[in-house]
Chains A and B, each alone.
Chain A
Amino acid sequence: MPTNTPTFAPAGTWQLDPTHSTVSFGVPYLAGTFKGQFHDVEAKLEVTEQAATLSGVARVESVDVREENLNAHLQSPDFFDVERHPELRFTADRIDLDGDAVDVRGEIEIKGVTKQIEVTGTAIAPLTDGFGRERIGLALKTTVDRTDFGLNWNMDLPTGGKSLGNDVAIVAELYFVRA
């Protein structure tokens, strides 16, 4: 029987450790996977006796696909449209735990479009680091259809079909330190 987060995370505010956390994505492209990540990410986990909530943002201007022109294209209206929508947002008010498997339900906002989403993954139990700080981790993944959020760019292939897939895998490895 799944139980809510308070059973695995002590009550309190848990702030993201941005240095060791990553929010990345992968989308089918040609014969491979086009991968990238957002470097500028914030997240917070609030745990009370009754509930746990997770919220976070990823800043579009920090998108990195290891090529500056592609970074610029991803920030343009063809994709994320950073001028109008500088952040991707995620909020969750239900976090269920079954062993170390975690099931998170909430909303994701991309390019001004908000959708309900279910995210699954693994919770890393609380531990105390060498500096005496309490840490927990969440390794989460989900898949979204980018066209649901108005990211419709594509290019026809000469032999038919499209160059870029629609299903985008999002992987968030989030490490929190208790405030």
Chain B
Amino acid sequence: MRVLGISGSLRRDSYNTALLLAAQERFPAGVELELWDGLKAIPPYDEDDDTDRAPAAVAGLRAAIAAADAVLIATPEYNSSIPGHLKNALDWVSRPLAENPLRNKPAAVIGASTGAFGAVWAQAELRKVLGAIGARPIESELAVGHAPTRIEGRQLEESVTEGLDYVIGQIVAAVYEREATATRPLAA
């Protein structure tokens, strides 16, 4: 099983990226979490550029999602919502809607913020966007508020680790559920 991790933060020492790095070590045996780091290279969406030969960074993201059984997105919150560059990348992935690689794919959202609320509004918005794209958003969330006091490098506060483990369990279960319930071959 392969899960694609996407951090919505570009910052080198991002708490959201740290969550994904920690998650890499916590998925069960047989499940690989690949971190995709091409977000900064995704150009602004322009339908004129969305041709059969999409920009390389976009093609790379689409292929990475297509090759994964699920995605795990860690998002910060900018002005009560999703970072623009993350939304922009998902807009690229979503087109054309009927064929996009996220459709029917389990998608989990977690988030960290320096403030008290742990990017809960961005996470809710992101789940809505993923639903609109046709993914299967996983309802459980992990909102890590006051991140500087709870995340240090790859060391997480115990409650964060527990929350992360729960989300990881939900992702794995969702992939198995999809395989068990699909009435047609799963798209690659």
Chain A residues proximal to chain B, CB less than 8 Å: 68-69, 71-73, 75-78, 83-86, 153
Contacts and interface: CB of A to CB of B under 8 A. Distances in A.
15 contacts: A69-B97, A69-B98, A72-B96, A73-B97, A75-B98, A76-B131, A76-B133, A76-B134, A77-B135, A77-B136, A78-B131, A83-B104, A83-B184, A84-B181, A86-B183
Main secondary structure of the interface of A (DSSP, over half): loop
B29 interface: no
A85 B181 CA distance: 9
A77 B134 contact: yes
A77 B98 contact: no
B182 interface: yes
B131 A84 contact: no
Interface of B: 96-98, 103-104, 131-136, 178, 181-184, 186
A88 to B, nearest CB: 13
A77 B131 contact: yes
Given A69-B98, A71-B98, A77-B135, 11 more contacts: A72-B96, A72-B97, A72-B103, A73-B97, A76-B103, A76-B131, A76-B135, A77-B131, A78-B134, A83-B186, A153-B131
The 7 closest A-B pairs by CB, nearest first: A76-B134, A72-B98, A72-B97, A83-B104, A69-B97, A78-B131, A84-B181
Contact of A86 (B104, B134, B136, B184): B184
